[in-house]
Chains A and B, each alone.
Chain A
């Protein structure tokens, strides 16, 4: 290879680079204008036609809960950082919001997989979006105390919907989600959760084919698995893909479940305890151990991947599992071509309590916050509007007559999306900007989100008919120091508990001796201090009620 070749090579590369640089310069020029983060809420008077704002709206936008539309005197732009995989700049929702409230919302959409990192760098670089969510609640409280975000309840008099729904009807959220001085920095979300979202499920077609009745309690659960094993000796009737999460998921059935697992609130004793050392937990472990030893539980439950578990559940190598409710229909959809009689159904809870977890009605863990700047008041009013019936309908249903109609069952139908196979919140979000994460502050129950399929409805009914819900543990409020201490101790205890639980089930030699050693071990890891912190916070919570 000679000098000429090299020169030619270098020459080609240089010209490519120049072309490429030109292209890059062009594209960055044309994008240069759009991406400055407007944290000062500069008005874009140039690019928007001014809205006839001060006059009262000619259109009736429904129940605004006492807010007067439009919300601002002059055109205002607000930046809202959300996790979304589509750009929603010119969608129906954005346009409607601008028309109704006078506020132009610039949604800064960030791909969901990188949201947390993007939020960190955005905050670190000093560009707080006007509205954002996703920080851990304790971090948000710190920022609030330093004046970075506003205390929502300070502005309660201009926020009628917030005042009614939360201050009046659900005042406990201040003591749970606010800071020590009673300031709330995160806007709650109202009634987003369905009643039943996870649980045990089983192959109804297999059970029917073999004349087995679905279980109604723990003993019959065991007996169903045993019968299945006899008929299908090469199978492991119960499979799991949640790895070590299986202990936490089953815990509700034994009365020791909690969102703070392995710490839980014992209603009877009125105090927080460590689930992993209670007698109930031992009973749960013993039951699991029995299933494992008799070949009723998949021996690789602790390492099984989602793909492998899917394959077992759809090829008659396992028949019972615990998962998110959507799986009932998802599996059917995936394998019906190969096996049309495949029928996965929701089963009753397993464990002495016979209950599943309760999903909170009001949740502020989103940590939806408003930055403390020129636009704070406008942002707050916007959030209040989205909490009103009128605003929440826009976000969760749309605009009647414009993008949806009511069908005979009182459910919304979207003619423009008729050709899509699936009309879920992703489709609505892509096409109309509806259902963007953190904007659905009070979803309308008629929205497609609450469309239950037959299987899902069956699940809701099964649990609701007997109110099989474990009491929801109080949401406690910790100081920054407490959080720091908790993290240290809890990580150690949680790790040790997971190790112990797994060994207890998998290792035949583990028994009472090891159980007692385990209890002693937690003491040396600092469980007493951990529970002390929890119970102190509980005392504060009780006092605040």
Chain B
């Protein structure tokens, strides 16, 4: 039939293996300089990040330090089963997930806010001073920070209760109240990390071209508005990357801080995977068990990362790749 009006589209040829390889070859040649530059990094990751990964098989073996990783016998998923069947498993899962999620939600905006505010400061010494002060807590060890928190919150003579008393409220024993564990943990995380993490955002803001601000001013934007129309959108890529990375890290909660801040009265909300493994380790060294839990956490973390990366790209933002 005559279909002269229809333009026949070129039939797409299915790419053959050969043509794919040829294309790849071309790209390699084109990017050869980049590849050479990239080589040291590649070697590094191979040797120092992928090399040790064989150690993960500890989770599937009955590992003894003496016999070594290779010679310890295989036990398959035995340790994983033990872990999933532990009576505490669901409580631990809920606690770990909630603590991680809430920490992310509340502590993520803090460094961004701090960077935005710092950026608006005119007086150089004040800006430098506050910046320096804000990241000092990262130099304190977890032990010291926890000690301070416990002292501040003491029901008999802690600062917080002293202030409450002077305002007419009764003293409250915060540390044993399960409802207060998460807020205390989260606030201390913000205090410790906000300044340190704001450095990244400050660097991002420093890279914003001034002409954007000029243009906005010409349009009559107030300073406040400029933050929303210029600064924030410009640092959005950085924000998204950090968000994706932190979402991935959400459930890998270290044991030290929780261990120091929790107590028997708050176990039911505070006990997380890592503290559980730690307590087990006190009775007997069980590397395999710890490795199994670690692998499980890693798996969940990777899943979270993949999901958040995908969501970010779907919503039009950038992703990690």
Q: Select from chain A the residue with minimum beta-carbon distance to B261.
A: A303
Q: Select from chain B the residue with minimum beta-carbon distance to A492.
A: B87
Measured CB to CB, the closest approach of chain B to A366, in angstroms, equals 16
CA distance A488 to B270 in the complex (A): 20
Against B, the Cβ 8 Å flags (1 = close, 0 = not) of A276-318 are 0000000000000000000000111011110110000000010
B284 touches A483 (CB 8 A): yes
A300 touches B156 (CB 8 A): yes
A495 touches B263 (CB 8 A): no
CA distance A271 to B101 in the complex (A): 47
With A136-B284, A488-B82: A300-B264 Cβ-Cβ less than 8 Å: no
Pick from B67, B87, B154, B285: contact of A300, CB under 8 Å: B154
B284 touches A487 (CB 8 A): yes
B155 proximal to A (CB < 8 A): yes
Q: Select from chain B the residue with minimum beta-carbon distance to A142.
A: B64
16 CB contacts below 8 A, A to B, read A135-B65, A136-B285, A139-B66, A143-B65, A146-B66, A146-B67, A236-B156, A243-B263, A300-B154, A317-B156, A483-B284, A484-B284, A491-B276, A499-B267, A502-B263, A503-B265
Question: Nearest 10 A-B pairs (CB), nearest first?
Answer: A502-B264, A143-B66, A498-B264, A487-B283, A303-B175, A487-B284, A123-B65, A499-B264, A148-B66, A491-B280
Against A, the Cβ 8 Å flags (1 = close, 0 = not) of B146-185 are 0100110011100000000000000001011000000000
With A244-B263, A302-B265: A491-B283 Cβ-Cβ less than 8 Å: yes
Measured CB to CB, the closest approach of chain B to A236, in angstroms, equals 7
A492 touches B151 (CB 8 A): no
CA distance A307 to B151 in the complex (A): 9
A506 touches B265 (CB 8 A): yes
CA distance A146 to B82 in the complex (A): 26
Q: Select from chain B the residue with minimum beta-carbon distance to A126.
A: B68
Pick from A123, A307, A490, A506: contact of B66, CB under 8 Å: A123
Q: Which of chain A's residues 24-75 have a Cβ closer than 8 Å to chain B?
A: none
B256 proximal to A (CB < 8 A): no
A338 proximal to B (CB < 8 A): no
B286 proximal to A (CB < 8 A): yes
Pick from A135, A307, A486, A502: contact of B265, CB under 8 Å: A502
B65 touches A120 (CB 8 A): yes
Tell which of B69, B147, B176 has the most Cβ of chain A within 10 Å.
B176
B155 touches A300 (CB 8 A): yes
B88 proximal to A (CB < 8 A): yes
Chain B residues lying within 8 Å of A136, measured Cβ to Cβ, are 284-285
B279 proximal to A (CB < 8 A): yes
Q: Select from chain A the residue with minimum beta-carbon distance to B68.
A: A124
Measured CB to CB, the closest approach of chain A to B262, in angstroms, equals 10
A303 touches B285 (CB 8 A): no
Chain B residues lying within 8 Å of A236, measured Cβ to Cβ, are 156
Chain B residues lying within 8 Å of A14, measured Cβ to Cβ, are none
Chain B residues lying within 8 Å of A317, measured Cβ to Cβ, are 156
Chain A residues lying within 8 Å of B65, measured Cβ to Cβ, are 120, 123-124, 135, 139, 143
Q: Select from chain A the residue with minimum beta-carbon distance to B284.
A: A487
Measured CB to CB, the closest approach of chain B to A407, in angstroms, equals 42
A305 touches B284 (CB 8 A): no
Pick from B154, B175, B279, B285: contact of A495, CB under 8 Å: B279
Measured CB to CB, the closest approach of chain B to A501, in angstroms, equals 7
Chain B residues lying within 8 Å of A307, measured Cβ to Cβ, are 147, 151
Measured CB to CB, the closest approach of chain A to B267, in angstroms, equals 6
Chain B residues lying within 8 Å of A486, measured Cβ to Cβ, are 283
With A299-B156, A299-B173, A300-B156: A487-B286 Cβ-Cβ less than 8 Å: yes
Q: Which of chain B's residues 84-108 have a Cβ closer than 8 Å to chain A?
A: 86-88
CA distance A503 to B263 in the complex (A): 11
Pick from B87, B155, B284, B286: contact of A525, CB under 8 Å: B87
Measured CB to CB, the closest approach of chain A to B263, in angstroms, equals 5
With A305-B151, A308-B154: A490-B265 Cβ-Cβ less than 8 Å: no
Q: Which of chain B's residues 17-70 have a Cβ closer than 8 Å to chain A?
A: 64-69
CA distance A135 to B287 in the complex (A): 13
A303 touches B64 (CB 8 A): no
Q: Select from chain B the residue with minimum beta-carbon distance to A143.
A: B66
A87 proximal to B (CB < 8 A): no
Chain A residues lying within 8 Å of B265, measured Cβ to Cβ, are 302, 499, 502-503, 506
Chain B residues lying within 8 Å of A302, measured Cβ to Cβ, are 176, 263-265
A109 proximal to B (CB < 8 A): no
Measured CB to CB, the closest approach of chain B to A370, in angstroms, equals 14
Known: A308-B154, A499-B265. 5 other contacts (CB 8 A): A136-B284, A138-B284, A142-B64, A300-B156, A302-B265
Against B, the Cβ 8 Å flags (1 = close, 0 = not) of A257-285 are 00000000000000000000000000000
CA distance A142 to B156 in the complex (A): 50
A299 touches B68 (CB 8 A): no
With A299-B156, A491-B283, A503-B265: A143-B64 Cβ-Cβ less than 8 Å: yes
CA distance A483 to B68 in the complex (A): 20
Chain B residues lying within 8 Å of A120, measured Cβ to Cβ, are 65
CA distance A484 to B147 in the complex (A): 34
Chain B residues lying within 8 Å of A501, measured Cβ to Cβ, are 264
CA distance A244 to B147 in the complex (A): 17
Against B, the Cβ 8 Å flags (1 = close, 0 = not) of A478-489 are 000001101110
Chain B residues lying within 8 Å of A490, measured Cβ to Cβ, are 283
Q: Select from chain B the residue with minimum beta-carbon distance to A306.
A: B147
Tell which of A124, A146, A300, A303 has the most Cβ of chain B within 10 Å.
A303
Chain A residues lying within 8 Å of B264, measured Cβ to Cβ, are 244, 302, 498-499, 501-503
Measured CB to CB, the closest approach of chain B to A358, in angstroms, equals 22
Measured CB to CB, the closest approach of chain A to B256, in angstroms, equals 14
Against B, the Cβ 8 Å flags (1 = close, 0 = not) of A493-526 are 0110011011100100000000000000000010
Q: Select from chain B the residue with minimum beta-carbon distance to A311.
A: B157
Chain A residues lying within 8 Å of B154, measured Cβ to Cβ, are 300, 303-304, 308
Measured CB to CB, the closest approach of chain A to B259, in angstroms, equals 11
Chain A residues lying within 8 Å of B147, measured Cβ to Cβ, are 305, 307
Q: Select from chain A the residue with minimum beta-carbon distance to B287.
A: A120
Pick from A143, A299, A502: contact of B155, CB under 8 Å: A299
Chain B residues lying within 8 Å of A299, measured Cβ to Cβ, are 155-156, 173
Chain A residues lying within 8 Å of B68, measured Cβ to Cβ, are 124, 126
CA distance A300 to B286 in the complex (A): 33
Q: Select from chain A the residue with minimum beta-carbon distance to B271.
A: A495
CA distance A300 to B263 in the complex (A): 11
Chain B residues lying within 8 Å of A135, measured Cβ to Cβ, are 65
Chain A residues lying within 8 Å of B267, measured Cβ to Cβ, are 495, 498-499
B88 touches A492 (CB 8 A): yes
CA distance A126 to B154 in the complex (A): 49
Q: Select from chain A the residue with minimum beta-carbon distance to B280.
A: A491
Q: Select from chain B the residue with minimum beta-carbon distance to A116.
A: B285
